[in-house]
């Protein structure tokens, strides 16, 4: 197998085309990390000014933190321990001389917060400020997206929708609440939770594009239908607009983990995560049958349709 099946969407159509064009030049595409010999896991993630952040929303240190945690989240998604971070930077000509340093102070703080170190990088001038962050970690039992089986339960860490609430407040010309702003500016890659969940998980993914899209990736990779009860979602208190459950499900960039666990396991791991990490673990659905990757979202008992974040709308 050269590629793990991805869920629907124009961004993923482009990735499928790349995988097909690469053919035998690629291996193992489509999961949160690449799995390399020796238990090494690797992933890369770019944060781009105007797309992922704006300088009038966040400080340079916050931008570096957020870009690095976003990349580290893919290590959390496979249950890996974080080891090393490399950052390829591009900054606009005429940027303050200390901008690269400030971005990297944030990157270093994020790496440090999960036990990793910055081990290299690259610095260029470019038309827009970009941080391309590569992360390396190690897992003794890496968890892929592809192992969910009928009868498993779906659980999610933390609370959803806070980052999107901040984004929407800024986009509407206002200012987010302090809580929403913190969720956007200061995400925490769930490395420690991912390692504990990986002892029991059958499949796992991080919520970078939002539950709507990422549940589809897990379902497609595992060849199962999943049913998500939106009434059960742990909603960030910062979510106030519209139907909070739909907003929380649509929101990306919370960097929480969606995990498939055998029955009874979540009830045991939940209190463990709460005690050790002060992190909620909430059961939000089930894996119910083999399928090409269908996701059924229920709200008040009725099916509803949701779309994940799409860069190529």
Min dist. Cβ of residue 124 to Mg ion (A): 26
Should residue 32 be labelled a site residue for Mg ion when binding is judged by CB under 5 A? yes
Which of these ranges, 111-119, 205-213, 233-241, 272-280, lies near Mg ion under the rule CB under 5 A? Answer: 205-213
Q: How far apart are CA 179 and CA 186, in angstroms?
A: 10
Q: Are 206 and 256 in contact (CB under 8 A)?
A: yes
Q: Are 84 and 119 in contact (CB under 8 A)?
A: yes
Should residue 11 be labelled a site residue for Mg ion when binding is judged by CB under 5 A? no
CA dihedral 45, 48, 53, 54 (to 10 degrees): 160
Should residue 74 be labelled a site residue for Mg ion when binding is judged by CB under 5 A? yes
Q: Contact letters (x/-) for Mg ion, 157-196, by CB under 5 A? A: ----------------------------------------
# chain residues binding Mg ion, by CB under 5 A: 5
Q: How far apart are CA 252 and CA 286, in angstroms?
A: 21
Min dist. Cβ of residue 151 to Mg ion (A): 25
Closer to Mg ion at the Cβ: 77 or 89? 77
Should residue 206 be labelled a site residue for Mg ion when binding is judged by CB under 5 A? yes
Contacts of 222 (CB under 8 A, 6+ apart): 145, 146, 147, 148, 149, 203, 260, 287, 293
Min dist. Cβ of residue 275 to Mg ion (A): 27
Min dist. Cβ of residue 97 to Mg ion (A): 34
- List helix spans (H) across 48-172: 60-76, 99-113, 162-171
Closer to Mg ion at the Cβ: 77 or 103? 77
Q: Contact letters (x/-) for Mg ion, 76-95, by CB under 5 A? A: -x------------------
Strand partners, 206: 257
Min dist. Cβ of residue 205 to Mg ion (A): 6
Min dist. Cβ of residue 178 to Mg ion (A): 27
Residue nearest to Mg ion (CB): 32
Q: How far apart are CA 285 and CA 147, in angstroms?
A: 16
Unique residue bearing structure tokens 């000509």: 93
Closer to Mg ion at the Cβ: 104 or 156? 156
Q: How far apart are CA 250 and CA 253, in angstroms?
A: 10
Q: Are 135 and 74 in contact (CB under 8 A)?
A: yes
Closest Cα to residue 214, out of 7, 51, 52? 7
Q: Are 227 and 296 in contact (CB under 8 A)?
A: yes
Closer to Mg ion at the Cβ: 61 or 206? 206
Which of these ranges, 25-33, 167-175, 234-242, 277-285, lies near Mg ion under the rule CB under 5 A? Answer: 25-33
Should residue 45 be labelled a site residue for Mg ion when binding is judged by CB under 5 A? no
Closer to Mg ion at the Cβ: 278 or 312? 312
- Which residues are at the interface with Mg ion (CB under 5 A)? 32, 74, 77, 206, 208
């Amino acid at each position: 197998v050269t590629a793990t099946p991805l869920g629907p969407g124009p961004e993923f159509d482009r990735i499928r085309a790349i995988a097909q064009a690469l053919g035998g030049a690629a291996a193992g595409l489509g999961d949160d990390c690449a799995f390399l010999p020796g238990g090494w896991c690797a992933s890369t993630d770019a944060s781009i000014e105007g797309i992922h952040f704006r300088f009038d929303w966040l400080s340079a240190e916050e931008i570096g933190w957020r870009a690095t945690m976003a990349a580290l989240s893919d290590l959390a998604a496979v249950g890996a321990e974080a080891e090393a971070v490399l950052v390829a930077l591009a900054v606009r000509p005429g940027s303050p001389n200390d901008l690269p340093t400030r971005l990297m102070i944030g990157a270093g703080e994020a790496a440090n917060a999960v036990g990793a170190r910055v081990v290299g990088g690259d610095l260029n001038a470019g038309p827009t400020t970009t941080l391309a962050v590569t992360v390396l970690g190690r897992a003794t039992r890496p968890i892929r997206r592809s192992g969910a089986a009928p009868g498993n339960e779906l659980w999610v860490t933390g609370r959803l929708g806070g980052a999107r609430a901040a984004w929407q407040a800024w986009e509407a010309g206002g200012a987010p609440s302090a809580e929403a702003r913190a969720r956007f500016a200061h995400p925490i890659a769930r490395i420690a939770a991912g390692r504990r969940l990986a002892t029991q998980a059958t499949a796992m993914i991080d919520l970078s594009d939002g539950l709507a899209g990422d549940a589809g990736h897990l379902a497609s990779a595992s060849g199962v239908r999943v049913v998500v009860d939106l009434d059960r979602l742990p909603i960030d208190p910062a979510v106030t607009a519209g139907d909070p459950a739909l907003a929380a499900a649509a929101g990306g960039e919370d960097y929480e983990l969606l995990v498939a666990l055998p029955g009874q396991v979540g009830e045991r791991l939940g209190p463990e995560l709460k005690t050790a990490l002060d992190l909620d673990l909430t059961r939000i659905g089930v894996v119910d049958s083999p399928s090409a990757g269908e996701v059924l979202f229920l709200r008040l008992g009725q099916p509803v349709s949701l779309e994940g974040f799409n860069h190529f709308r």
